[in-house]
Chain A
Amino acid sequence: MISLKINGKVTEVDVDPATPLLWVIRDNLNLTGTKFGCGISQCGACTVLMDGHATRSCTMPVSQAAKFNIVTIEGLSEGGDHPVQKAWIEEDVPQCGYCQSGQILSAVALLNEKSHPTDEDINRTMTNICRCGTYRRIRKAIHRVAQERGIS
């Protein structure tokens, strides 16, 4: 049994310790907001927060995830109203929407690290793939969150 702390709750899962965290989240815990895209940490659709850092869960063995505080898109906010989620709605970011859980959590991690990220910061850290090409609106949404925070 592996004990995971996900979205503030401790859950015991009985899985092979080599199983990627992604599949435990999706198939054992039925938290399907975290997506499978590539399986090799290339696309970022599987991004979750581990102690606040954006982490690609598709190549992370569940045994290594046990000591972290994990947040998935479902646990980001109570009513879907985290400032980043609200900015995503305001800027009409999603199209197909499949990559957006990962994009949002990557943006949350970036904004935790830097309250007013520059375009360069965004280019460097927002490496998740969006096949619909919503990058322009993602960038705008991140700047909007920073702007609404005011000057720190």
Chain B
Amino acid sequence: MATSSGKDFTRRKLTRRDFVKSSATATGGLLLGFHIPSISKMRPFEPYPDAGAEINAWLSIDTDDTITIRVAQAEMGQGVFSSLPMIVAEELEADWRNVRVEYADANRSAREGKVYKRMSTGGSYAVRGSREYLQRAGAEARLRLIKAAAEKWLVDPDDCYADYGKIYHRGSSRSINYGAIAAAAARLSVANVRIKTPEEFNLIGLPTPRLDVPSKTDGSAIFGIDVRLPGMVYAAVVHCPVTGGELRSLRFNAVRNRPGVIKAVRLKSAVAIVAEHYWQAKTAVEAMPVQWNLGPASKTYSETFKSEYIAELQGDGTVLVETGDVDGMMDQAEKSIESDYVAPYLAHACMEPLNCTVSIQQDRVDIWAGVQNPESALAITAKLTGRSPADVYVHNCYLGGGFGRRSNTDYVEEAVQIAAQIDRPVQMIWSREEDMRSGSYRPMAVMRFKAGFDLQRNLIAYSSHSVTHSIAADREADWDSSKVDPASVEGLVDMPYQVDHKKISHTARNTHLKSWWWRSVGHSQNAYAMECFVDEMATASDMDAFAFRRKHLEGRTQLLDVLDVLEQKSGWRNARLPEGTAMGLAIHESFGTICGQVAQVSVSQAGEISIDRIISVVDCGNLVNPLTAEMQVESSIVYGLTAALYGKLTVENGVILEDNFDTYRMLSMAEMPVLETHFALSGGDKWGGMGEPATPPVAPAVCNALYKITGQRIRILPIKDYFLQRA
């Protein structure tokens, strides 16, 4: 095991100067890695026209040595525009300074037998899911270049090798740039492609600045909302305030004479106004008198949901894991504890409100949007317009945040339906309020935990029963409700702590709201509740938080290693903290990665909370780009901390009350803790995800620290709803 925030690279260390230089040379501006649409061009997100010879579907090399690498995953801030090309470039033995990136084309994948394999982005799966075939694509291209050079020189390919953008011949001083033989290499084929093992990596593991950063500092990065097409009009939408309700009537006459207003579009549960400019559309749609059939959900309340979920705990639920005799041991226990935890619905609240631009023409349909799943966006667009998938083009853009929300294609569907009613390209934008109210939320859950201890305070029995809104039941029309949605119970069902007698049960219960994958999905609520309860069990055993976990994680080497590093790095043991300050611990494994965190938290005399410091230790096995991995840890912490402190959606009369950042509060600069991130990499074949695993432990680490200061267990999130005082 090694602890590092990167490897010690002695060989050919890339400097930042190299990158700045590459930004300027590769495309003649600071636009590396993205195609900027000009107003005069109809289809701005077409591939680079000058990519040169295509060696295979993943990469092309131009005569000037520029290497264009295609990325099939969505760039939503997590850094796939550096991590995935690094994998290809590693095997290609490319000069990284010559690399630029473009999105892989979902239309091509549809036409060419899924040539880009998996194009959806989620589950922290970008590196985990594609590393091997991207390595293979790079290696295959390198072998073709070698073969082309050998044929040119009339030598044995085995006497040639590739290094840093050139092929060399061992027996002579001959060498040739990739660009000079790319066209020949493109016509060859090779067999027996071997890929590198981690100890052979040069580029993978090197902290590498992101290629998309320059364009994100000068306003030139194009997000979906920035697409401009000739003749384009804008659509603003208002949805039925109660999810599941429907449009009854509207009075377009009240707004039709406003400047710029073109048309009203009726949708099943929404209404849109199309206008020359967005502001004209937005003000008109909000002024237009509309009547809704709100439906039965208009009589629902958050508080009612909570009591209904708690009532479900009376039932047995579906028993997922049962070992030993939990009920018998609970009866025999000298001491037992029981706690209910409640996690609320949460909105994703991506910074870029959901939007989509659509152009429907006779022979093709084009959509421009930031989407996490271009294939499903393509499929639904083809279905709605009655076109063949081969005639539908999805031009993915940068995503102004995804967090799972942009894998739902509801906003794409709505834009296509609106565009079908008008003969000009349309950009549909949801206002922040529509984005937040019509969202697909992190599920609500209520979780009951019980633990029994013997006379010596040893844990002898453990049970959990969760009642959770099922995402699968919302997503899949034919979902079999007798099945358990794996996303509802992840992190609970695979609870790592050893106890002889345990029972884990689950009940699904949905409300009228729609749920969706939210950064770290089921782990987000399950790790909060479970790791808080583990702390309760440690307290009941009169044990330290680290010691209790170690005792029950015997043989789980990777978890134990993370705990060791975390205890040391956080200074847990000998910390001399001021009054009103304490540290809390949580550890959780998700998406193939273990993340342990210690949160140092303070509560003032007046009861004000500050999160002073969060120390993270992560084991994702191997790392592609330590820089973006560290950024993902920081990002995941802020996401989880925002939710823990402030996140809550309240339903009254079926309507979500929090609809903008004034009522759905975000963490700000002034509230930022000091963040320290360490990697304790176990190596081997493990390539864990990095986009999410640092989110689940945040809430419990903070809550466990708050308990030490205040004596108050936070069993209902968010923390802001508690009045906390030092004990």
Contact = CB atoms under 8 A, between A and B. Distances in A.
Contact of A123 (B76, B77, B432, B669): B669
Nearest to B227: A32
A42 B436 CA distance: 15
Given A74-B219, A129-B661, A89 B672 contact: no
B30 A79 contact: yes
Nearest to B674: A136
A38 B660 contact: yes
Nearest to B228: A30
A10 interface: no
A98 B401 contact: yes
B424 interface: no
B639 interface: yes
Interface string B390-401: 000000001111
Contacts of B429: 36
Interface in A101-139: 101, 104, 122-124, 126-139
A27 B234 contact: yes
Interface string B627-641: 100010011111100
B400 A35 contact: yes
B675 interface: yes
Contacts of A12: none
Interface in A39-59: 39-40, 42-43, 45
Contacts of A33: 218-220
Nearest to A16: B259
Contacts of A128: 669
A102 to B, nearest CB: 10
Interface string A12-31: 00011001100100111011
Interface string B487-516: 000000000000000000000000000000
B217 interface: yes
Contacts of B225: 32, 35-36
B217 A100 contact: yes
B20 interface: yes
Given A73-B218, A85-B218, A98-B401, A42 B627 contact: no
Contacts of A77: 218
B77 A42 contact: no
B37 to A, nearest CB: 10
A45 B666 CA distance: 14
B668 A136 contact: no
Contacts of A104: 217
Contacts of B223: 35, 97-98
Nearest to A14: B259
Given A38-B661, A39-B431, A90-B16, A129 B666 contact: yes
Given A96-B76, A136-B672, A42 B638 contact: no
B661 A28 contact: no
Interface residues of B, number: 64
B444 to A, nearest CB: 21
A4 interface: no
Given A73-B218, A97-B77, A129-B661, A23 B351 contact: no
Contact of B213 (A35, A37, A89): A89
Contacts of B76: 96
B278 interface: yes
A72 B219 contact: yes
A99 interface: yes
Q: Which of B400, B627, B667 has the most CB of A within 10 A?
A: B400
Q: Which of A27, A88, A127 has the most CB of B within 10 A?
A: A27
Interface in B67-83: 76-79
Interface string B204-248: 000001101111111111110110100000100000000000000
Contacts of B387: none
A97 B126 CA distance: 19
B351 A98 contact: yes
Contacts of B474: none
B432 A92 contact: no
A88 B217 contact: yes
Contacts of B353: 36-37
A131 B641 CA distance: 11
B190 interface: no
Contacts of B635: 95, 132-134
B48 interface: no
Nearest to B402: A96
B270 interface: no
Nearest to B667: A133
Contacts of B399: 96
A141 to B, nearest CB: 10
Contacts of B636: 133
B218 A74 contact: yes
Interface string A76-98: 11011000010011101111111
B220 A96 contact: no
B390 to A, nearest CB: 31
B350 interface: yes
A42 B662 contact: yes
Contacts of A132: 77, 351, 401, 635, 638
A136 to B, nearest CB: 6
Contact of A40 (B215, B217, B637, B662): B662
Contacts of B217: 80, 85, 88-89, 93-94, 100, 104
A80 B277 contact: no
Contacts of B666: 43, 129, 131
22 contacts: A27-B234, A28-B277, A30-B39, A32-B222, A32-B228, A33-B218, A36-B429, A88-B213, A94-B212, A95-B78, A95-B635, A96-B76, A97-B223, A97-B398, A98-B352, A98-B400, A99-B351, A124-B670, A131-B666, A133-B639, A134-B634, A137-B634
Given A85-B217, A94-B216, A136-B672, 10 more contacts: A30-B39, A36-B429, A37-B353, A95-B77, A95-B631, A97-B398, A122-B669, A127-B668, A133-B637, A133-B667
Top 8 A-B residue pairs of the complex, sorted by shortest distance between their CB atoms: A33-B219, A133-B638, A97-B216, A98-B400, A96-B77, A95-B77, A80-B218, A73-B219
